[in-house]
């Protein structure tokens, strides 16, 4: 079964339309995200159309959802795809309860496939310092590059958040930056003294003497033509610095975000505080950094605990 051949029942079409409006207007999701959720609900609706009798959305039960999940598994979809579809169906069921189509959420006990989470590469403080040392401040845009890398690491920004950072988002006199994250959600992130220093140097010595294009006049980091920096340019800068510093890990702008969070957790920061600074909706996403911290602690114990040292030679 491919979930794309059965006719869509009228009651499901109506519920789906209301759900899409909810995602667009109330949740403020991007068109890409809305379309992904729409496809998930369409898969469920087309499966439901094959049931006898065909239930309406208000008659949806946990048994229907369990059978649907079993069909997903039988199709041998990737576990990540199955998990994403189940997540979309859970969101739809929550909407049905919110809009009183259903009294209880039939998806509450439905479990998605367990995914093994890849622990990302992180940079040590020494590696970050080595990359910073490779920036030639004598070059026209060296100070801009230094400020960008400092801000990436100091604030844990996504590359899109860095390139979209606005002059109005800077509150350097009180040590904070306002960040516009996914789904236009705002968060306030502290910025340290070193990053502030280099950012102020850039704003005063470089940007002040540029002639920003009209559409980029409010943006902090500009290219040499006065336009907005692209994500690709930031990726190229980071990879170039890593290569010059002799770092053989796979390094991207996101590596600095991982390093930011990992170093905070290693230093004893509360996981909830890290979640707020990263802009994660769920603490589950942030918990990966506690696993990184446990790996760091294990390696430290193995390296330094007396019981793990090799026996001394008795000659």
Q: Say yes or no to pLDDT of 234 above 70.
A: yes
pLDDT greater at residue 291 or residue 122? 122
Q: Residue 301: its pLDDT value, please?
A: 44
pLDDT greater at residue 3 or residue 70? 70
Q: Say yes or no to pLDDT of 149 above 90.
A: yes
- Give the tokens for residue 251: 């390094």
- Give the tokens for residue 143: 């100070």
Task: Indicate the SS3 state at residue 189.
Answer: strand
Lowest mean pLDDT across 113-122, 219-228, 234-243:
113-122
Distance CA 201, CA 50 (A): 65
- Give the tokens for residue 40: 């998930």
Dump pLDDT digits (tens) for 274-287.
778 888 776 666 66
Distance CA 17, CA 80 (A): 26
Nearest-CA neighbor of 181 among 277, 289, 255? Answer: 277
Q: Say yes or no to pLDDT of 180 above 60.
A: yes
Lowest mean pLDDT across 66-75, 120-129, 237-246, 304-313:
304-313
Q: Say yes or no to pLDDT of 1 above 70.
A: no
Residues assigned a catalytic role:
158, 182, 254, 257, 280, 289
119: left (phi > 0), else alpha (psi -120 to 50), else beta? beta
Tell whether the torsion through CA atoms of 234, 120, 303 and 294 is positive or negative: positive
Residue 155 in contact with residue 195, Cβ under 8 Å? yes
Q: Residue 297: its pLDDT value, please?
A: 46
Which residues make beta-bridge pairs with 187? Answer: 179
The pLDDT mean for the chain works out to: 83
Dump pLDDT digits (tens) for 78-103.
777 888 888 889 999 999 999 888 88
Q: Residue 84: its pLDDT value, please?
A: 83
pLDDT, average across residues 160-173? 93
Dump pLDDT digits (tens) for 252-274.
998 998 888 888 887 777 777 87
pLDDT, average across residues 1-7? 52
- Give the tokens for residue 43: 């898969």
Query: CA 162 → CA 25, 104, 154, 228, 275, distances in Å?
Result: 27, 42, 12, 11, 18
pLDDT greater at residue 313 or residue 227? 227
pTM: 0.57
DSSP percent split of the chain into helix, strand, coil, nearest 5: 60, 5, 35
Dump pLDDT digits (tens) for 183-202.
788 888 889 899 999 999 99
Residue 160 in contact with residue 185, Cβ under 8 Å? no
Q: Residue 19: its pLDDT value, please?
A: 92
Q: What is the side-by-side order of every strand in the sheet holding 170-171? A: 170-171, 176-180, 186-190
Residue 36 in contact with residue 88, Cβ under 8 Å? yes
DSSP state of 166: B
């Amino acid at each position: 079964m491919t979930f794309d051949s059965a006719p869509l029942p009228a009651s499901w079409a109506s519920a789906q339309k209301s759900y899409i409006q909810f995602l667009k207007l109330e949740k403020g999701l991007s068109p890409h995200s809305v379309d992904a959720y729409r496809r998930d609900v369409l898969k469920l609706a087309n499966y439901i159309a094959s049931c006898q009798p065909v239930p309406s959305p208000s008659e949806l039960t946990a048994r229907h959802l369990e059978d649907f999940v079993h069909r997903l598994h039988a199709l041998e979809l990737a576990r990540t795809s199955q998990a994403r579809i189940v997540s979309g169906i859970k969101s739809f069921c929550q909407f049905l309860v919110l809009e009183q189509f259903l009294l209880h959420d039939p998806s509450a006990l439905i479990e998605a496939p367990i995914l093994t989470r890849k622990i990302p590469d992180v940079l040590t403080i020494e590696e970050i310092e080595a990359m910073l040392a490779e920036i030639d401040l004598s070059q026209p845009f060296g100070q801009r590059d230094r400020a960008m890398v400092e801000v990436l690491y100091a604030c844990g920004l996504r590359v899109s958040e860095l390139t979209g950072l606005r002059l109005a988002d800077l509150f350097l006199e009180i040590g904070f930056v306002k960040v516009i994250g996914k789904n236009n959600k705002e968060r306030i992130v502290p910025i340290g003294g070193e990053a502030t220093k280099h950012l102020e140097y850039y704003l005063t010595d470089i940007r002040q003497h540029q002639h920003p294009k009209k559409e980029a006049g409010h943006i902090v980091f500009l290219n040499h033509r006065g336009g907005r920096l692209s994500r690709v340019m930031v990726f190229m800068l980071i990879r170039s610095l890593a290569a010059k510093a002799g770092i053989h890990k796979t390094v991207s702008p996101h590596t600095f975000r991982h390093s930011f969070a990992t170093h905070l957790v290693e230093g004893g920061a509360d996981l909830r505080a890290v979640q707020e600074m990263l802009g994660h909706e769920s603490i589950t996403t942030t918990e990966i950094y506690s696993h990184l911290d446990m790996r760091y602690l294990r390696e430290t114990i193995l390296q330094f605990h007396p019981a793990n040292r090799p026996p001394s030679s008795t000659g």
